[in-house]
Amino acid sequence: MQGWRFNVLKPFYESLRVYPTPVNLNFAWCFGFLSGLFLVVQLVTGILLTMHYVADVGLAFDSIRTIMREVPFGWLLRFFHLNGASLFFSAVYLHMGKNIFYGSYLFPRYYIWLSGLVLYLLLVATAFFGYVLPWGQMSYWGATVISGLISTIPVFGQFILTIIWGGENITTITLRRFYTLHFLFPFIILLFMFIHLIFLHEVGSNNPNGFVYQDNIILHTFFSIKDLLVIYNFFLFFIFFVFFMPTVLGNPVNAIIADINFTPKKMVPEWYFLPMYTILRSINSRGGGVLLLAGFFILLFFLPFLTNPLVRSGDLKFYFSFFFCSLETIFVILGWAGSKSLDDFWVFTSRLFTFLFFFSFLFILPLIELLNEKIVFCRVVRPVEMQQL
């Protein structure tokens, strides 16, 4: 039996052990492995928490208190799971930023990028379902507002919403459905992660210089040690939040049991949803906000097809470095605006930076790539042609 198991796992082990990796990779290439590690953390802690959670609107909030106060090390499990979600999203956003900066989303790796975006969508959905489970004020009203956006779909919207809710309102049936999906989706994420790795192994890793042909080295142990160093530093940061500031990343309103008769004055989702929340509410129309949010994800999916630059790496493109820094700033300000109330200043800020986000990808990025290609042609291609003449 043990020999059979070893034969099944041997191809995976050999694939990782002898996987050829570009020799000039930097620490930014560790974020993908870090994301996978936090997925494992969330799976393990989530499964242990399900043993004590009760998916019932009358008992869910009390079951969380029981986990925190009476279950041995239950508080540790919940804080690991709660803060692990934030660190998971942090690693994913860093990984996505690295791919954009170094051109890892472009041909021949756009299938890796597209499969990664499917993982991101599944992660967003899983986090949303999990946010509802504590059944606090933000859990209930967040579920009501966000899932209620489905009703903006023409003709079938209200019918689909009724099926999801299991009725005309959010009840125990709805909570149990969200609980089931929150338990199921991580395993779907795990499946797509393997598909993501298959695409990666098919074409190989990109490198900071963006060259197609590059000197390679075996992944283990040269780069696995770098991965362990990044994991060690991230876990120090993670442990600091778990033991010293376990609730700082959460919304204190969610520590109050859900009350359908009292709407919170300020509804703010978790920090990793804030940029999308800003885009959603930047237009007064619910339907318009949903279309903009859908446009955000569609834009990311079509990003590999917007440009096909000769030079891929942002390290080698002067104008692109400024573009990437401005894009990071826009994304951070979108998140900041999402945490503020809708007064005149923040409404204007939300609309302005939502416009700048889409304008940057649709117009500025192609223009930057065109300017960089002209620079490369004038400095590299033309002198070589003159020498040949």
Q: pLDDT, tens digit, for every residue of 297-352?
A: 999 999 999 888 878 888 888 788 899 999 999 999 999 999 998 888 999 999 99
Residue owning tokens 């919403």: 161
Q: What is the mean pLDDT of residues 60-68?
A: 96
Residue owning tokens 């492995």: 33
Residue owning tokens 């955000």: 296
CA angle, 65 then 178 then 284, to 5°: 105
Q: What is the pLDDT of residues 253-308, one digit of tens each?
A: 888 999 988 888 878 899 999 999 999 999 888 889 999 999 999 999 999 998 88
Q: What is the pLDDT of residues 31-45, one digit of tens each?
A: 999 999 999 999 999
| Residue type at position 148 | G
- What pLDDT was estimated at residue 16? 62
Q: Is CATH 1.20.810.10 the right assignment for the domain spanning 1-267? A: yes
Decide if 328 is catalytic. no
The length of the chain is: 389
Q: What is the pLDDT of residues 200-240, one digit of tens each?
A: 988 888 888 877 666 778 877 778 888 888 889 988 999 99
Nearest Cα neighbor of 119 from 109, 111, 107, 108 is 111
Which of 14-18, 67-71, 303-307, 346-350 has the weakest average pLDDT?
14-18
35, 270, 282, 317: the active-site residue: 270
Nearest Cα neighbor of 307 from 70, 19, 103 is 103
Decide if 270 is catalytic. yes
Q: How many other C-beta atoms can be found within 10 angstroms of the C-beta atom of residue 210? A: 20
C-alpha dist (Å) from residue 138 to 121, 270, 278: 21, 10, 17
52, 56, 151, 201: the active-site residue: 201
- What pLDDT was estimated at residue 377? 56
* pTM of this prediction exceeds 0.85: yes
Q: How far apart are CA 285 and CA 351, in angstroms?
A: 13
224, 226, 321, 373: the active-site residue: 226
63, 205, 313, 350: the active-site residue: 205
86, 182, 227, 369: the active-site residue: 227
Q: What is the pLDDT of residues 186-199, one digit of tens each?
A: 999 999 999 999 89
Asked if residue 61 has pLDDT above 90, the reply is yes
| Residue type at position 280 | L
Nearest Cα neighbor of 190 from 21, 26, 75, 39 is 39
Decide if 10 is catalytic. no
Residues 122, 349, 290, 177, CA torsion sign: positive
Q: Percent of the chain beyond pLDDT 70?
A: 91
Residue 20, beta-bridge partner list: 218
What's the count of helices (H) and strands (E) in the chain, helices before strands? 15, 2
Asked if residue 51 has pLDDT above 50, the reply is yes
Domain map of the chain by residue range?
1-267, 268-389
| Residue type at position 183 | F
What is the H or E stretch that residue 54 is in?
A: none
- What pLDDT was estimated at residue 92? 96
Q: How far apart are CA 130 and CA 83, in angstroms?
A: 13
39: left (phi over 0), alpha (psi -120 to 50) or beta: alpha
Dig out the tokens for 1 from the structure.
């039996």
